[in-house]
Amino acid sequence: MEANTHHQLVIIGGGPAGFAAALYGARADLKPVIFSGMLLYGQASQTDVIENYPGFPDGIQGVELGKLFEQQAVRFGAIVEYDQVLSLNLQVRPFQIQTYSGSLSADSVILAMGADPKKLHIPGEEEFTGRGVSYCGTCDGFFTRNKDIHVIGGGDTALEEAIFLTRFAHSVTVIHRRDELRAGAILEKRARANPKISFLWNTVVDEIRGDEKVRSLMVRDVKTGEKREIPTGAVFVFVGHSPNTSLIEGQIALDEQGYVKVDAKMSTNIPGVFAAGEIADPHYRQVVTSAGMGAAAAISATYYLENLE
């Protein structure tokens, strides 16, 4: 991209929300520029098979769905930049955007930077990340072949990933801090029926231990207070997400959980700035809902830009 170009619409984030916004923005002839960020196709790219995106009755691989989103947006004129936004100034008009490869300005911006997996913030977690601690089964499952491993969390992600990891691991123990899962009924049924999966209830992990790689977990029963050390071949942490708002901190209204506040039209408190997908959604976090929010944000941006002229 040429330096210091001006655009009507810039979209930040290349997950389902960003690409759906790019598709709708392109079809409105806004020639949107979309910055894919570091993780092309967002968290969906790290999902093995997506079974609940309408139109794919047999499921589709996360990366494949992302590629289709991209192709469709590009076909109508979206400009995809495989680059990362380093800073964003929403206090000036037009809005200013700085990336690795240069700077540009925009009349409207759609924030679709998504969310990242939450950390446990316990001793050993950071130290052993990449050496037996992981946040992505699709990425690191292969390394768990024939091992007895642990998954932390009781939501849909934890169970979906635990089931996926049974392809490689000898056994998967799900450690959950309560005795009731947060995950939905279908995943719970599948996980309970899987002979390689067992559950450690009412249990939290206080520390991850090892040498050159992870060897054990210090766990605590939250009911009895009993502590013990259990051996492990690897540990996968799936305890929710936090929105990626570092680019916009102090510039835009966030809710009490740190998500971007949007109204029903995906408008933020700054006219011309919209948000879509997990950065603005603490509730649904589905590919289909993120894509829907992206489409709505682009339609709202189109109306906004029409009224500017």
Q: In 3D, which of 302, 233, 295 has the Cα closest to residue 17?
A: 295
Q: In 3D, which of 133, 187, 185, 120 has the Cα closest to residue 158?
A: 187
Per-residue binding string, ligand NAP, 68-107, x by CB under 6 A, is ----------------------------------------
The verdict on whether 206 is a catalytic residue reads: no
Q: Kindly identify the residues of this chain, within the stretch 118-137, that bind ligand NAP according to CB under 6 A.
A: 120
Q: DSSP class of residue 292?
A: H
Residue type, 40: L
Comparing CB distances to ligand NAP, the nearer of 32 and 154 is: 154
Minimum separation from the CB atom of position 188 to ligand NAP (A):
11
Q: Kindly identify the residues of this chain, within the stretch 157-186, that bind ligand NAP according to CB under 6 A.
A: 157-158, 160, 177-178, 182
> Which range binds ligand NAP by CB under 6 A, 54-62, 81-89, 101-109, 148-156?
148-156
Total residues at the site for ligand NAP (CB under 6 A)?
A: 19
- Which long-range contacts link 69-76 to residues 24+ away (Cβ below 8 Å)? 69/16, 69/19, 69/20, 69/23, 69/41, 69/291, 70/14, 70/19, 70/41, 72/19, 72/23, 73/19, 73/22, 73/23, 73/26, 73/34, 74/26, 76/23, 76/26, 76/27
Q: Kindly identify the residues of this chain, within the stretch 206-245, that bind ligand NAP according to CB under 6 A.
A: 238-241
**281 binding ligand NAP? (CB under 6 A):** no
The verdict on whether 255 is a catalytic residue reads: no
Comparing CB distances to ligand NAP, the nearer of 77 and 155 is: 155
Distance linking the first and last C-alpha atoms of the chain: 25
Which residues does the annotation mark as catalytic?
Answer: 136, 139-140
Binding residues (CB under 6 A) for ligand NAP: these are: 52, 120, 152-158, 160, 177-178, 182, 204, 238-241, 285
